[in-house]
Amino acid sequence: MSAFFAMGGYAAFVWPTYGLAAALIVGLIVWTHRRHARAVKAVAELDARRPARARKGAV
């Protein structure tokens, strides 16, 4: 098992790279979630500004 973690002597290069990749993926997930929430809020605000007769399904 220790041979796996040592990565044949390249552990000092491999593990930080895995950590950086994981941090970037988590960062992208958080960034995407925030952008989506902001877009949903903007659409809801725009929809609230429309006149009732222009809303879908309004009679």
Summarised one tens digit per residue, pLDDT across range 36-50 is 999 999 999 999 998
pTM assigned to the model = 0.71
pLDDT more than 90, % of the chain: 76
- List the chain residues with pLDDT less than 50: none
Round the CA-based radius of gyration of the chain to a whole number and report it. 24
Instruction: Sort 4 into a burial class: Cβ within 10 Å, 0-12 / 13-18 / 19+.
Output: exposed
CA distances from 3 to 6, 13, 47 (A): 5, 15, 59
The pLDDT of residue 52 is 74
Domain coordinates in residue numbering, the chain: 2-49
